[in-house]
Amino acid sequence: MKLRAFSAAVAALAVLTVGAAALDMELSPYKPVSALSGRLKSVGSDTMLHEMELWAEGFRSIYPNVSIEIEGKGSNTAPPALLSGTSQLGPMSRQMTPDEVGAFEAKFGYKPMAVLVAIDALAIYVHKDNPLRCINMEQLDRVFAADPKSGGGRSIRSWGELGLTGEWAAKPITMYSRNTLSGTYKFFKQHVMGGGDFKDDINMQVGSEAVVSAVGGDKFAIGYSGIGYKTGAVRAVPVGTPGKSCHDASFDNTYSRKYPLARGLYIYLLKDPRKPMDALSGEFVKYVLSRDGQMQAKQGGYYPITRNIREHELTRLGLLASAR
């Protein structure tokens, strides 16, 4: 599903007042099949690592003869693993680039299949004692970017420049970021900084959990990570666009796009459009998109898909009839 298709799907929900529990009830439970066995390997997103582990654990509880190996070092590792045949599943917190898709087409004669499996709000985290109540997208650009495209190119270096007073006013902002292997890094770079470079003094972290942990241990820090990694040591700051209200990263605000850093989470597959999907990968995807799998998405801190999204994805994979 392209980003615009995801945007249309969530925009349609803006007119609805429906909670996550109701969405769960709209999804069909997973229907096990008999005698399923084999081996799956997943290589990709660190943001989705915990989620993939939950899904793998749930799937193996139904099929004890299935082995699933999970590796989550960053979304950038998913395309080469799929391309080389090292893995069958490529979880990514961003969409593949045209160059990545082109490499698949050159080798296989078809594009990789992106399956939308959950919704995430990319959260802006500060220390739990930080009084900042709102930050807009232009301010984020000026905080993180080496050459901001906003505010006349003027960087923001201190908390006072974001409106904080007292002991906070003169304190420099310490910035934490994911590393360059991360889809979250690439998403933030494109959507917040317009593709620009980060400041030289940014503190790169190898994982989503590491970013949140670093911010929680540094009173004057700011960082970004998936909403599923929120802890009691940090606060997720409401985010807005210039001249408009800030919105927190709640379920309703994410689906309505009031929260500006909503994104899809994907599992990429090698699916030849001329052939049926292999049984093991197909059953795993059906499990992930079922009520069972989406309840685990919520357990991991992310937001579930809707019935319409589920049916759209299963139809593209040729799995809808067997999933009902």
pTM as predicted:
0.87
Secondary structure letter of residue 64 according to DSSP: T
* pLDDT for 239: 98
Sketch the domain layout of the chain as residue ranges: 3-120+263-323, 122-261
* Residue numbers in the chain where pLDDT is lower than 70: 1-25
Secondary structure letter of residue 177 according to DSSP: E
- How far is 226 from 301, CA to CA, in rounded Å? 9
* pLDDT for 5: 41
Amino acid making up residue 52: M
Inter-residue contact 144 to 124 (CB < 8 Å): no
Residue 201 tokens, joined:
């003094």
- How far is 252 from 242, CA to CA, in rounded Å? 21
- Domains 3-120+263-323 and 122-261 equal at CATH topology level: yes
- β-partners of residue 69 are 41
Give 219-279 as a DSSP string: TTEEEEEEGGG--TTEEE--EE-TTS--B---HHHHHTT-STTEEEEEEEE---TTSPPPH
Residue 286 tokens, joined:
């059906």
* pLDDT for 15: 31
Fold assignment, 3-120+263-323: D-Maltodextrin-Binding Protein; domain 2 (3.40.190)
- How far is 29 from 295, CA to CA, in rounded Å? 10
Where are the extended beta strands (E) located within 75-139? 90-92, 113-127, 135-136
* pLDDT for 111: 95
Amino acid making up residue 281: S
Q: What is the CATH number of domain 122-261?
A: 3.40.190.10
